Amino acid sequence: MNNKSQSQDWDLVIKGHTSLFDVKFRDIWNYRDLLFLFVKRDFISFYKQTVLGPLWFFIQPFLTTIVFTFVFGNLAGISTDGLPQFLFFLSGITAWNYFSDCLTKTSTVFRDNAGIFGKVYFPRLIMPLSIVFSNLIRFGVQMLLFLLMMGYFWYKNADFHLTYAVFFFPYLIALMAFLGLGAGLIITAITTKYKDLTFLVTFGVQLLMYGTTVIYPLSAAPAAYKKYIELNPMTGIIEAFRYAFLGKGEFSLWSLGYSTVVTIVILFMGILIFNKTEKNFVDTI
């Protein structure tokens, strides 16, 4: 009997991580159906019992852009590099929203899903990955709004144009997703022990937005602060996004390369820290 049981071939063997670098990417691929279910759950539950439902995907960036146009464009008189104010602010908001959503929602993965993590096995990275993909749906809808507004201003003969950098668009999406994912993984791992950090995330992301070229072009930044703004990896991404679709912005392969290197480092660190924390976070959360 013992010999028979020892010779059995099991379909799945669950065991602890053997090292910090044991991420089990194959398990993530095997659980891709679960990833799809989490994405579907996030999309449905977020707007469940709302009157307007997914229309909020349009309403939120539209109203935010109107406020930014009035406050920063008309009252403060901030330069928009000659672009229509509405298009300038909408482009920054569209790109920033995807990054900030990935970061803020990933930063509470352990806290929000402690019940599920403590009861059933699945690759834990599935959960933050589902957040990135579900936010991608929202980003797609907001990009549709942005393209519609581009069409409207093109009809009004506004001064903007597409550039060759539009071919980098899928790459820019990946950078925003992985940068938000990596930073969120680091924060959610730290908050298992230091819960005060949770209260600072949303506030910190809002402050970080003002250190990025969302409401002003990099060309309008004071020379004394420009180099610090360029250290923000999202600056190069948003400048490239604007240059791709509107033809204005300080886009260069160097800035995009810098954003890429920082993103890879943060993502790598985030996965390693998340991988280490998931082993015993249930005991500390």
Three-state secondary structure call for residue 112: helix
Q: Is the dihedral of CA 268, 125, 260, 183 positive or negative?
A: negative
- Rounded (5°) CA angle 139-142-148: 140
Distance of CA 50 to the CA centre of its chain: 24
Report domain extents, the chain.
22-283
- The length of the chain in residues reads 285
Q: Rounded distance, CA 121 to CA 117, Å?
A: 7
pLDDT at position 280 over 70: no
What's the CA gap between 244 and 85, in Å, rounded?
17
pLDDT, position 97: 93
Q: pLDDT averaged over the chain? A: 83
Q: pTM here?
A: 0.84
Structure token pair of residue 83: 């672009």
pLDDT in tens, 87-135: 999 999 999 999 999 999 888 887 776 667 666 666 778 888 888 998 8
Contact 131, 106 (CB under 8 A): yes
pLDDT over threshold 90, residue 147 = yes
Q: What pLDDT, on the 0 to 100 scale, is given for residue 87?
A: 94
